[in-house]
Amino acid sequence: MRFDYLQPATLDECVAMLAKWGPSAKIIAGGTDLILNARARVVDPEYVIDITGIPSMSGIEEEGGGVRIGAAVTVRDVSESAIIKERFPLLATAASLIGSVGIRNVATIGGNVCRASPSSECSPPLLCLDASAKVVGPGGSRTIRLDECFLGPGCTTLETDEVLTEIHIPPNKPGTRGVYLKHSQRGSIDLAIVGVAVVGTFAASDGTCQEAKIALGGVAPTPMRARDAERVLQGKVVDDALIALAAQTAADESRPISDVRGSADYRKEMVRVFTQRALRAILPS
């Protein structure tokens, strides 16, 4: 691999670099994916633009009941943030399950999203939380919903001259609980065979499920919402039988391939098992 390494001090500098070199440049945050991919010649940029020196890309702030997370915030900081652990614990869990602590100290939430791995840990929780991202380029800034931003493995709707600067998560409705489960053989240090995030909003009166969101990682070209499974639960009182049905539905709508980490059949079965476990975990007791 060979590239020039640029370290803009402001967002404007970064955008100017992207305007000049966009198609032959890559954004680097922690680098835990980019360096591997460059070495393996999966990508071959001439310029690498490091965004971690840009102050506006850092920080986790409360925002109207929700939260704003700078793209360059490390997943370690996401996993340990008091506000995220309190309001969106499934995201904190997911971030804590990314690789080893040495990776988490350096990898960023922006990188985890933009890498667009089908098994990205942060993406299923962000999909369930209706997260959106701010994206900036020479033409200005725009907001994209995360459930519309993944196009395929390693591919997002970002243009080559755009950079993701922050992630916004809207406030939870009352009565909302969420959980993220990762299935892998060696815990956090392995890539997920299957990841399942569920968020459910339950009525205080009778425990009816007002809204259910289920997102899956590792079982489709992109992280995906299991919308058929969500519809099984919507508006119902959730019992074991319904959970089993929702879990099976999620498995049926998943589209895994067989690869070195697992066969398609095994992944589908794991979707069923972990969706079931996750739903049981968020049921009001």
Partner 1 sequence: MRRPIELRVNGVIEEAYVEPWWTLARVLRDELGLTGTKISCETGDCGACTVNIDGRAVRSCIYPVMKAQGKEIVTIEGLAGSDGSLHPLQQAFLDNFAVQCGYCTPGMVMGAHALLGENPHPSEEEIKEGLRGNLCRCTGYNNIVKAVASVAGAAEEVE
Partner 2 sequence: MDELTFVGKSVPKVDALAKVLGKTKYVSEEGIGIPGLLYGKVLFSPHAHARIVKVDTSKAKALKGVRAVLTGKDAPANRVGMLIDDRHVLCREVARFVGDPVACVAAVTAEIAEEAIRLIDVEYEILPAVFDAELAMAADCPVVIHPDLPTYNRPLYAYMGDDLPGPNVHTHHKIRKGDVDRAFEEADFIVENRYESDRIAHCQLELYNSVCYPETDATLTVWTSARLRETHEPLLQAFGLRASQLRTRTSYQGGMFGMIGRPERFTVLLAQKTGRPVKMVYNREENFIEGLNRLAEIVYVKDGLKKDGTIVAREIRGIVNTGAYTHHGPLVLRNGAFHASQYRLPNYRWDAYGIYTNTPACGPLRGFGSAEVLWATEQQMDLDARAVGMDPIEFRLMNTPNEGERDVRGTLVNCIGAKRCLKIVGDWIEWDKPSMQPKESHIRLGKGIALGNKYSMADTASAVIVEMKSDGVLEIAHGGDDCGQGLNTVLTQIAAEQFSVPMEKISIIWGDSARSPYDFGTASSRSTLYIGNALLRACDDVKNQIRQLAAAKLHVDPKDIEVGKGGFWLRDEPQQLFPMSHLTLANHPAARGAVKLATCLEESAGIRGTGVFWGHPGAEDPETGQGERLAISYTYGAQAAEVAVDTETGEVRVLRLHSAFDTGRTMHPAMCEAQLEGGAVMGIGSALMEGFKFDENGRLSNANLHDYKVCSMGDAPSGDDLRVALVEEPHPEGPYGAKGAAESAMCPTASAIANAIYDAVGVRLTHLPMTPERVLEALKLKQARSSDL
Binding site for partner 1 (CB under 8 A): 1-5, 7, 28, 31-32, 35-36, 38-39, 48, 50, 52, 76, 99-103, 105-106, 186-189
Query: In angstroms, how far is CA 205 from the centroid of its own chain?
Result: 32
* Residue (of 56, 73, 120) closest to 94 by Cα position: 120
Residues 241 and 188: their CA atoms lie apart, in Å, by 31
Q: Which does 263 bind (CB under 5 to 8 A by kind): partner 1, partner 2, none?
A: partner 2
Q: Which does 103 bind (CB under 5 to 8 A by kind): partner 1, partner 2, none?
A: partner 1
Nearest 10 degrees: Cα torsion 282, 186, 259, 109? 60
Residue 185 or residue 285: which is nearer to partner 2 going by CB?
A: 185
Q: How many CB atoms lie within 10 A of CB 21?
A: 18
Which of 24, 143, 160, 263 is close enough to bind partner 2 by CB under 8 A?
263
* CA-to-CA dists, residue 167 to 145, 178, 229, 264, angstroms: 10, 18, 26, 32
Tell me how many residues contact partner 2 (CB under 8 A).
16
Residue 143 or residue 263: which is nearer to partner 2 going by CB?
A: 263
Q: Does 91 help bind partner 2 (rule: CB under 8 A)?
A: no
Q: Which does 280 bind (CB under 5 to 8 A by kind): partner 1, partner 2, none?
A: none
Q: Does 280 help bind partner 2 (rule: CB under 8 A)?
A: no
Q: Which does 185 bind (CB under 5 to 8 A by kind): partner 2, partner 1, none?
A: partner 2
Residues 226 and 196: their CA atoms lie apart, in Å, by 10
Q: Is the CB of residue 99 less than 8 Å from the CB of residue 107?
A: yes
- Work out how close the CB of 221 gets to partner 2 at its nearest, in angstroms, rounded to a whole number: 19
Beta strands in the chain (DSSP E): 4-6, 25-28, 47-50, 60-63, 66-70, 132-137, 140-145, 150-152, 155-156, 163-169, 176-183, 194-202, 209-217, 224-225
Residue 120 or residue 201: which is nearer to partner 1 going by CB?
A: 120
Q: Which does 261 bind (CB under 5 to 8 A by kind): partner 1, partner 2, none?
A: partner 2
Q: Does 189 help bind partner 2 (rule: CB under 8 A)?
A: yes
Q: Which does 266 bind (CB under 5 to 8 A by kind): partner 1, partner 2, none?
A: partner 2
Q: Which two tokens stand for residue 156?
A: 């997002």
Q: Is the CB of residue 116 less than 8 Å from the CB of residue 144?
A: no
Site string for partner 2, 133-172 (x = CB under 8 A): ----------------------------------------
Site string for partner 2, 166-185 (x = CB under 8 A): -----------------x-x
In sequence order, the β-bridge partners of residue 259 are 262
